Amino acid sequence: MAYDIKTIGVLTSGGDAPGMNAAIRSVVRSAIYKGLRVVGIRRGYAGLLNGDMSEMNLRSVSEIIHRGGTVLYTARSDEFNTKAGVEKAAEVCRDRGIDALVTIGGDGTFRGARDLCRAGIPCIGIPGTIDNDVACSEYTIGYDTAMNTAMESIDRLRDTAQSHERCSVVEVMGRNAGYLALNTGIACGALSILIPEIPYDIDRDIIDRMLFTQRTGKKHFIIIVAEGAASATDIAKQIEEKTGIDSRATILGHVQRGGRPTTEDRIMASFMGYKAVELLGNGIGNRIIAKKHGQVMDFDIEEALSMHKTIDKSYFAMSSAISL
């Protein structure tokens, strides 16, 4: 079914991610270029329910392409997670003359968009989360910046671990997904990487590897754990108890969510925003924008949400082999 779309709303929801601003900018500018009106909705679905929104123009998105965070703010809404909440949100869109929405976020954001689609408001989702855990897409906005932020921090930790001949156990974000931990770990040459998708055994996967490499002359160690796999503090304590090697835990935390987006994130965000508006301008809704085989494309929202993403275990095997 082709929709008649003249006004679009744009919002960011869930955890913020560097590059979200570049996506907002692209949506606003692409829409105005196509002769559409754009309304910026603040604080995600919570803001939509409260009518927290205003019209945006070309200058509303000046000076934001290089900034982390989201100028539209973000929030999580319990009310929107109810049937009544979704109906109310659809009603707010109709009252305000918003014909369609672009929602930028992760799976939770897309489930909300799907519910709104079912309630008659066409939506397009743009993947924005540092976790890179959107199943239909190889890439999510913010992932590259977060990896680089984590990598730079761990490079610094390596300097002090090397000087003190210690073990540095670093906890990176990823409650349910280990992409950030795995790829940061590879880039930092971590001896062991723990991620939620792969069960671990502390003796086999950490202690034995430390003792083996110690016998070959290694004197400092970097261990990466995703927050959803283990606690860095617990692992550091166990390492010290089992090996006697002085160990320190560092939790990188929300520092990974901030900062200037990388070129990759700015370019992908720009392209994805443009693509979202192109679809809406052609009367097409209910899609998720994705990067697949290096190309920006789109999937039906219901189909996208039924997909599953699995960790490529060959990365894990390669890392285990070359980090000894």
Enumerate binding residues for ligand F6P (CB under 6 A). Answer: 15, 129-131, 173-175, 257
Chain position whose Cβ is nearest to ligand F6P: 15
Q: How far is the CB of 19 from ligand F6P (least distance, A)?
A: 12
Q: How far is the CB of 129 from ligand F6P (least distance, A)?
A: 5
Q: Which is nearer to ligand F6P, 21 or 247 (CB)?
A: 21
Q: How far is the CB of 226 from ligand F6P (least distance, A)?
A: 8
Q: How far is the CB of 284 from ligand F6P (least distance, A)?
A: 28
Is 208 catalytic? The answer is no
Q: Which is nearer to ligand F6P, 140 or 168 (CB)?
A: 140
Q: Which is nearer to ligand F6P, 183 or 286 (CB)?
A: 183
- Written as one letter, the residue type at 291 is K
Q: Which is nearer to ligand F6P, 175 or 292 (CB)?
A: 175
Q: What is the 3-state secondary structure (H, E, C) of the chain?
A: CCCCCCEEEEEECCCCCCCHHHHHHHHHHHHHHCCCEEEEECCHHHHHHHCCEEEECHHHHCCCCCCCCCCCCCCCCCHHHCHHHHHHHHHHHHHHCCCEEEEEECHHHHHHHHHHHHCCCCEEEEEECCCCCCCCCCCCECHHHHHHHHHHHHHHHHHHHHHHCCEEEEEECCCCCCHHHHHHHHHHCCCEEECCCCCCCHHHHHHHHHHHHHHCCCCCEEEEEECCCCCHHHHHHHHHHHHCCCEEEEECHHHHHCCCCCHHHHHHHHHHHHHHHHHHHCCCCCEEEEEECCEEEEEEHHHHHHCCCCCCHHHHHHHHHHCC
Catalytic-labelled residue, pool 52, 99, 131, 133? 131
Q: Which is nearer to ligand F6P, 118 or 254 (CB)?
A: 254
Q: How far is the CB of 234 from ligand F6P (least distance, A)?
A: 17
Q: Which is nearer to ligand F6P, 147 or 207 (CB)?
A: 147
Q: How far is the CB of 152 from ligand F6P (least distance, A)?
A: 18
CA angle 49, 55, 60 (to 5 degrees): 120
Task: List, by residue number, the catalytic residues.
Answer: 131
